[in-house]
């Protein structure tokens, strides 16, 4: 198998270590150079998620997805916290010393440095802890490669004039570069917190290969260090639960003591004036349940930090000019209508503090665990998640022929826009695991609209090659066209309801795609509103509450128009012009229209006059 290696010195060292681990598992590995290139300014809110991250990570992932190699390796700290659809990171082969160290030209420790010494730091976390430990020294912000800064220290040791007296850096970075000669002090992790995943190395593969290629799956399992994996998982899941980025001054110290994983996290004010701590533990027994227990552990620690005011602590800080609000308060960019490309709507960074939708009830015809419902709850809304229609599978000759064609590689892509499209095929008795297995061997790719669709596909035995950052039909079209590039006349199967998504069909066919969209299920509006919605509407008669029905698609608009009595219809927000048009045709003019789920919170607030 082929291991992609970027041109940086550090990545080359990491790749050699990983190659050695693969050899120990009994597999041959070829190191494949990945050329660097000018990627341009792709890290904006409208870019496909593959384009988000450092240029080196982006290039390695692009080569991986395009089939130029089978595995890639990163330092965990290089990897964005959000997941990239199509890529699976399931192995942490090793984690070197995760501690920070102090390097100084004269081998003086932190307590021994003279007042006024200049100490280089490359993160807000290190700067904050330095200000707590030694408020009388000067924290100098450093960017880029650490080697030039180390050379500055060496120059000072030789009597040369320099503006840097010491440097705080990850011990692992020095170890990989054989630069340990300048280390004056190693900081104890119990007292000095370090960056999420520091010192750990991750191997990534294509998700499709992990699910369908036994050799890839065996290698990833064979090289994985389970202790390091659980430590990194706990730290990254805590940051995800907090929805903050790497630049936030939040550090960790995780250990495995016997069969117990202990996770310690601390958040700091950038000035070093305040610190909050959280700690919890969970038992590990070597079973698959360890991963879920570790995620629950991370949620507990994140919740403890929230209760202690972590968001207020972070949001109150004045950010250095070189540090964007996006970097500190969330790595995931937000595409917002009316804002320039690449510009973050800063207000969203404070949503977890202000809970702008508090006191508002939203009615959503989606599963309770869907991304939209989860995000609305995080913004403070009460969410009534209840379907308004029943699903009937539609097996038939056309569906059977389409699945046979898919299994034999007759399509380049299969596109799923709804979990029902997947579950209906399974409920109709089709062996989707076998269909997916055959389709994989013939190079078929799978695109999904969102998280709930991805879960349905994986449960059915499939995988995900593409899931757009902008969870909408428009997002699917954008990223499919980007993924396919200049390839002529691609073909796709899109199992659909009786009414396939017009945005997908029109946009892709106009771009030269050949689409096959057999109807695999029918939706029938329920005879009456679900009881939970009826109870809420009745309660509003006596005690009016701001309530918003979110029409996410034309079929939902039709169900809502049929079920909500005209005199008791709540405020209505339509997502997309087609949905709004459908409501108007049925005599229910929506109060507002959102471009997608991304700008929904602001639209809700505006239409309620808040």
Are 8 and 56 within 8 A, CB to CB?
yes
Are 45 and 335 within 8 A, CB to CB?
yes
The yes-or-no verdict on residue 14 having pLDDT over 80 is yes
DSSP state of 594: E
pLDDT of amino acid 349: 37
pLDDT of amino acid 333: 31
Q: Strand, helix or coil at 579?
A: helix
Q: In what order do the strands lie in the sheet with 250-257?
A: 250-257, 260-268, 275-283
Least confident of 179-193, 330-344, 581-595: 330-344
H-type helices in 167-225, by residue range?
Answer: 171-176, 207-212, 214-223
- Tokens 């199967």 correspond to 493
- Average pLDDT estimate for 474-497: 84
The structure tokens listed for 516 are 């096959």
- Average pLDDT estimate for 456-484: 87
DSSP state of 243: T
The structure tokens listed for 439 are 């389709």
CA distance 365 to 28: 50
CA distance 324 to 313: 17
The pLDDT tens digits of the residues spanning 209-238 come to 998 999 999 999 999 999 999 999 999 999
- Average pLDDT estimate for 324-351: 30
- Average pLDDT estimate for 283-295: 92
Least confident of 116-120, 373-377, 460-464: 373-377
Q: Name the packing angle between helices 473-484 and 502-510 (round to 10°).
A: 30
How sure is the predictor about 37, in pLDDT bands with cuts at 50, 70 and 90? low
Name every residue whose Cβ is closer than 8 Å to that of residue 73 and which is 6 or more positions away in sequence: 3, 4, 5, 11, 14, 15, 18, 201, 202, 203, 204
DSSP per-residue codes, 408-456? TT--SEEEE-SHHHHHHHHHTT--HHHHHHHHHHTT-EEEESSHHHHHH
DSSP state of 27: -
Are 312 and 353 within 8 A, CB to CB?
yes
- Tokens 């000072």 correspond to 156
Work out the mean pLDDT of the chain and round it to a whole number: 83
Residue in 215, 217, 206 with CA at minimum distance from that of residue 445: 206
H or E stretch at 12: helix 9-24
Q: Name the packing angle between helices 214-223 and 9-24 (round to 10°).
A: 100
CA distance 90 to 221: 8
Q: Are strands 138-141 and 275-283 parallel, antiparallel or unpaired?
A: unpaired
The yes-or-no verdict on residue 342 having pLDDT over 80 is no
The residue ranking higher by pLDDT, 181 or 120, is 120
The yes-or-no verdict on residue 279 having pLDDT over 90 is yes
- Average pLDDT estimate for 4-32: 91
Give 262's strand partners: 255, 281
The pLDDT tens digits of the residues spanning 52-103 come to 567 888 889 889 988 899 999 998 988 888 778 889 887 999 998 899 999 9
pLDDT of amino acid 45: 34
Name every residue whose Cβ is closer than 8 Å to that of residue 93 and which is 6 or more positions away in sequence: 17, 18, 21, 201, 203, 223, 224, 225, 228
Question: Both ends of the chain: CA-CA distance in Å?
Answer: 57
The yes-or-no verdict on residue 243 having pLDDT over 50 is yes
pLDDT of amino acid 155: 63
Name every residue whose Cβ is closer than 8 Å to that of residue 109 and which is 6 or more positions away in sequence: 102, 184, 185
Name every residue whose Cβ is closer than 8 Å to that of residue 318 and which is 6 or more positions away in sequence: 270
How sure is the predictor about 357, in pLDDT bands with cuts at 50, 70 and 90? confident
pLDDT of amino acid 324: 30
- Average pLDDT estimate for 315-332: 38
The structure tokens listed for 327 are 């970097």
Neighbours of 46 (CB within 10 A): 18
- Whole-model pTM: value is 0.77
At CA 30, angle to CA 27 and CA 31, rounded to 5?
A: 130
- Tokens 């997608």 correspond to 596
The pLDDT tens digits of the residues spanning 497-546 come to 887 877 888 888 888 899 999 999 998 999 999 999 999 988 888 888 89
The yes-or-no verdict on residue 330 having pLDDT over 50 is no
The structure tokens listed for 216 are 């890839």
């Amino acid at each position: 198998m082929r291991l992609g290696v970027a041109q940086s010195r550090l990545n080359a060292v990491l790749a050699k270590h990983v190659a050695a681990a693969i050899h120990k598992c009994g597999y041959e590995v070829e190191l494949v150079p990945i050329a660097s290139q000018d990627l341009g300014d792709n890290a904006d809110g409208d870019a496909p998620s593959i384009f988000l991250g450092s240029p080196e990570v982006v290039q390695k992932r692009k080569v991986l997805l395009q089939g130029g190699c089978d595995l890639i390796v990163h330092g965990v700290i290089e990897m964005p916290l959000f997941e990239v659809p199509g890529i699976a990171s399931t192995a942490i082969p090793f984690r070197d010393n995760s501690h920070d160290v102090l390097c100084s030209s004269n081998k003086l420790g932190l307590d021994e440095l003279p007042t006024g010494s200049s100490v280089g730091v490359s993160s807000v976390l290190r700067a904050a802890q330095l200000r707590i430990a030694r408020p009388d020294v000067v924290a100098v912000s450093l960017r880029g490669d650490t080697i030039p800064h180390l050379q500055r220290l060496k120059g000072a040791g030789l009597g040369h004039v320099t503006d840097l007296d010491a440097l705080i850096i990850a011990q692992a970075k020095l170890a990989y570069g054989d630069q340990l000669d300048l280390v004056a002090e190693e900081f104890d992790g119990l007292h000095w917190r370090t960056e999420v995943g520091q010192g750990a190395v991750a191997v990534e593969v294509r998700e499709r290969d992990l699910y369908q290629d036994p050799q890839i799956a065996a290698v990833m399992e064979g090289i994985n260090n389970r202790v390091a994996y659980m430590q990194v998982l706990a730290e990254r899941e805590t940051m995800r639960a907090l929805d903050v980025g790497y630049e936030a001054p939040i550090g960790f110290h995780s250990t495995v003591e016997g069969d117990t994983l202990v996770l310690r996290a601390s958040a700091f004010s950038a000035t070093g004036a305040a610190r909050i701590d959280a700690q919890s533990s969970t038992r590990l027994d070597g079973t698959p349940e360890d991963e879920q227990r570790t995620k629950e552990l991370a949620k507990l620690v994140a919740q403890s930090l929230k209760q202690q005011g972590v968001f207020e602590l972070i949001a109150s800080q004045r950010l250095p000019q070189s540090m964007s609000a996006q970097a500190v308060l969330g790595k995931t960019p937000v595409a917002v209508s009316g804002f320039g490309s690449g510009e973050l709507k800063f207000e969203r960074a404070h949503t977890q503090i202000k809970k702008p939708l508090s006191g508002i009830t939203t009615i959503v015809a989606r599963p309770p665990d869907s991304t939209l419902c989860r995000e609305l709850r995080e913004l403070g809304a009460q969410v009534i998640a209840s379907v308004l229609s029943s699903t009937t599978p539609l097996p038939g000759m056309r569906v059977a022929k389409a699945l046979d064609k898919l299994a034999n590689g007759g399509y380049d892509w299969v596109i799923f826009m709804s979990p029902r499209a997947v579950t209906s095929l399974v409920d109709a008795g089709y062996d989707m695991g076998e269909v997916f297995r055959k389709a994989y061997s013939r190079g078929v790719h799978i695109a999904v609209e969102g998280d709930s669709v991805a879960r349905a596909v994986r449960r059915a035995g499939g995988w995900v090659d593409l899931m757009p950052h902008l969870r909408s039909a428009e997002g699917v079209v954008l990223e499919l066209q980007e993924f396919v590039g200049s390839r002529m006349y691609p073909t796709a199967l899109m199992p659909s309801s009786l009414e396939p998504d017009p945005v997908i069909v029109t946009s892709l066919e106009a771009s030269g795609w050949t689409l096959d969209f057999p109807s695999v299920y029918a939706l029938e509006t329920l005879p009456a509103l679900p009881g939970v919605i009826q109870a809420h509407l009745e309660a509003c008669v006596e005690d009016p509450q701001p309530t918003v029905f979110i029409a996410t698609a034309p079929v939902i608009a039709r169900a809502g128009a049929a079920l909500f009595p005209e005199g008791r219809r709540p405020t209505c927000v339509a997502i997309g012009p087609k949905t709004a048009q459908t409501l108007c045709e049925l005599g229910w003019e929506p109060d507002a229209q959102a471009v997608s789920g991304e700008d929904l919170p602001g639209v809700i607030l505006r239409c309620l006059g808040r």
